[in-house]
Amino acid sequence: MTVSTELSTRTLNNYVGGAWVEAPGAELHDVVNPANGEVLARVPFSTAAQLDEAVAAAREALPAWREVSTIARARKLFELRQKLDDRKEEIARAAVTEMGKTLPDATAEVGRMIEMVEAATAIPTTMQGRVLEDVARNVDAETIRQPVGVCAAIAPFNFPAMVPFWFLPFAIATGNTFVLKPSEQVPMTQALVFESIDELGLPPGVVNLVNGSREVVEGMLDHPGIDAISFVGSAPVAKIVYERAAKSGKRVQALGGAKNHMVICPDAVVDPTVKGLIGSGFGAAGQRCMAGSVIVTVGEGHDRVIPALVEQSKKLTVGDGLDQGTDVGPVISCEARDRISGWIEKAVEDGAELLVDGRDPGGDPEGSYVGPTILDNVKPGDRIVGEEVFGPVLAVVNVDTLEEAIDVVNASPFGNGVSIFTESASAVRKFRHDIEVGMVGVNIGVAAPVAFFPFSGWKASFLGDLHAHGLDGVEFFTRKKTITSRFFSGGQTSGSYFVEH
C-alpha cells in the first residue's frame, strides 16, 4: 500500500464518542479498487492517542449502556436492521468496489451481515441465566450474565461488511461498548455502515470505529481499557493476537486462516457437485475463509467429476465485480495476484498437472486478476496442500478410499471447513464422526454456519474457547456471576448452609 499523493481524494474519518472525527497527524494510505487500480479514498493509520480517545469514549459510555434494559437494546438493533436493509445495495456496491467480489456475492454478504443483527435481537432470551431452587435447605443458586466491558474487534479484508458484524451486534446487545478496527484495505464499507449506526442515536461512545493497521491492533492488544478482543485474519497474526491479548489478561477469540477440503465420493451427483466446487473454489476469487481449495477425489469420483469441472471452469468470466456477467472478480491487490501466481508455479514445479491456468486472464491491466486455476495429480504432501493460497486455485488429490481422504484432510494444520459430496448416509456418518474440522458441509460447498449457530473452526483456524456468533457469541460477550442466597424473615428455617442439605 502506498502513501497517497492525491490531495483531492476523500480522507476517511474515525467515529468516536458518537461523532465523526479526523485523525490529525495519522499517516494516510490509499484504498485501491482492485478491479482497475483506481484510488478510492485515503485511510488514516490512527495514532496511539486516537485509539486512546476511542477506548476512553467506550469506557465512559459503559456504565449507562449496561443499565439500558435488554429489550431497549434489542430495539436499537431492530432499527439498525431496517436501516441496513434500506441501504443494502449501496453497502454491497461499496464492498465490491474496494474488495473486488461480484455484486451478487457482496449482496449475499450484506444479507448475512443483516442476519447477524437479527440473531442478536434475540438477546432478551439468549442472555438469560439459570436458577435452581433449594440447592441446600432454603438456599437458592442462580447464574446471571453481565457484560464483559469494552470489547474490540479487528477485521480482515475479505468480508468488509459481514465479519465486523460477527461481533458488533452481539457485543452491544449484551450491554458492552465496542471499538472496531476494519481492515485498512477495505475501510469504506464500514464507513458507510457507521453512517447508519450514527442515525440510531445510541449514547455517544457505545460504538466506535478506529481506522488503522498493525500499530492500532498492537495498541488494542496491550490497552488496559479494553477487556475483550475478537480477531479475524491470517493464522500467523491470529497467533500473535491470541498470545499478546491473553498476556494482558483479556478475553480473546482469534479466528485464523484456512485450507478447506472438498471430498468427492464415487457416487457424488455430478452437476450439483461441480456447481458446489466452482462456487466454493472460485467465489470471491477464492478469498473466503470457507473457500474450498483442495479437492480430494475418491476412486472413480475423479473421472466422473473433474472433466466436467474443467469444462465449466473454462467458461467463467473474469472481470470487474460490478459488471453484470462477471463470475470471478479481481483478487485484493497486485501483491496478492503475484503471490498466487507464484503458488501456481511452485505447484507445477512439484509435479502438478495444470488443467486450467488462470495466470494472465485479461481484464483491466491496472487491476489485479487471477482466473480460475485447476491443478491435478497433486500429492498429499505437496506444499500447496498444506498452506493457504487464498486465491482461485483448486488442487486435486486423488485417493482410493474414504479413509485415505479423511487422512488427507486430518493431516492439515487447519480445521475451518470441509465438504463431502455423496449420497451415502454411511459415508457421511463416518466422515462427520472422524473428520478433524469444525464446520462440515454435506453436499454443500461453502458450509458457513448461519448467524444463530457458531462459526466453529478448529486447529490453526481458531484460537480460543468461544466462537463467533450464535450462542457462543453471547457467551463470549458476557461474564457469568453466580449468586447463592437465603433469607431469614418470613418463617423459613435457617441453619448451616454447608450441613443442612
Using CB under 6 A, list all residues that contact ligand NAD. Answer: 154-158, 163, 181, 183-184, 213-214, 217-218, 232-234, 237, 240, 255-258, 289, 388, 390, 416, 455, 457, 461
Please tell me which residue in 151, 265, 289, 334 is annotated as part of the active site. 289
Compute how many other C-beta atoms are within 10 angstroms of the C-beta atom of residue 72.
Answer: 10
- Environment class of 63 (CB within 10 Å of its CB; exposed 0-12, middle 13-18, buried 19+): exposed
- Residue 16 identity (one-letter amino acid): V
Least spacing, CB of residue 73 vs ligand NAD, in Å? 26
State which residue, 203 or 413, has the beta carbon closest to ligand NAD.
Answer: 413
Q: Which residues contact 330 (CB under 8 A, 6 or more apart)?
A: 34, 35, 100, 285, 320, 321, 337, 363, 367, 368, 369, 370
Please spell the DSSP secondary structure of 340-401, one letter per residue. Answer: HHHHHHHHHHTT-EEEE--SS--S-TTS-----EEEES--TTSHHHHS---SSEEEEEEESS
Which grid cell sits at 202? Answer: 445510541
Q: Smallest gap, in angstroms, from Cβ of residue 65 to ligand NAD?
A: 25
Name which of 15 and 390 has its Cβ closer to ligand NAD: 390
Cell numbers found for residue 270: 455430478
Sheet-wide strand order for 177-181: 19-21, 14-16, 207-209, 177-181, 150-154, 228-232, 251-255, 462-463
Residue number with the smallest Cβ distance to ligand NAD: 233
Q: Min. distance of Cβ 235 from ligand NAD in angstroms? A: 6
Q: Is 201 helix (H, G, I), strand (E, B) or coil?
A: coil
Indicate the residue among 1 and 269 with the shorter CB distance to ligand NAD.
Answer: 1
Residue placing its CB nearer to ligand NAD in the complex, 29 or 302: 29
17 versus 156: smaller Cβ distance to ligand NAD = 156
The residue (of 18 and 156) whose beta carbon lies closer to ligand NAD is: 156
Smallest distance from the beta carbon of 111 to ligand NAD, in angstroms? Answer: 17
Give the gyration radius of the chain's Cα atoms.
24
Q: Give 220 or 402: the residue with its C-beta nearer to ligand NAD.
A: 220
- Per the CB < 8 A criterion, the answer to whether 344 and 359 are in contact is yes
Shortest approach of ligand NAD to residue 92 CB, angstroms?
Answer: 18
Tracing cell 464518542 back to the chain, one arrives at 17
Least distance (Å) between residue 156 CB and ligand NAD:
3
| Angle of CA points 184, 27, 339, to nearest 5° | 45
Partnered with residue 43 across adjacent β-strands are 29
Going 329 to 335 to 336 to 337, the CA torsion angle's sign is: positive
In the complex, minimum distance from the CB of residue 381 to ligand NAD, in angstroms, rounded to a whole number? 22
155 vs 197, which CB is nearer to ligand NAD? Answer: 155
- Shortest distance, CB of residue 429 to ligand NAD, whole angstroms? 26
Counts for the chain of helices (H) and strands (E), in that order: 16, 22
Place of cell 464422526: 433
Per the annotation, the verdict on 289 as an active-site residue is yes
Residue 287 beta carbon to ligand NAD: minimum distance, rounded to whole angstroms: 7
Closest of 388, 415, 391 to residue 287, by C-alpha: 391
Alpha helix ranges (H) inside 33-159: 48-67, 70-86, 88-99, 103-120, 123-126
**Nearer residue to ligand NAD within complex by CB, 169 or 286:** 286
CB of 311 to ligand NAD, least distance (A): 29
Question: Three-state DSSP class for 421?
Answer: strand
Q: Which is nearer to ligand NAD, 46 or 213 (CB)?
A: 213
What is the rounded distance in angstroms from the CA atom of residue 476 to the CA atom of residue 454? 11
Can you name the residues that pair with 374 across neighbouring β-strands?
356, 394
Q: What is the maximum alpha-carbon separation in the chain?
A: 85
Angle subtended at Cα 205 by Cα 200 and Cα 207, rounded to the nearest 5 degrees: 60
Residues with a catalytic annotation lie at 289
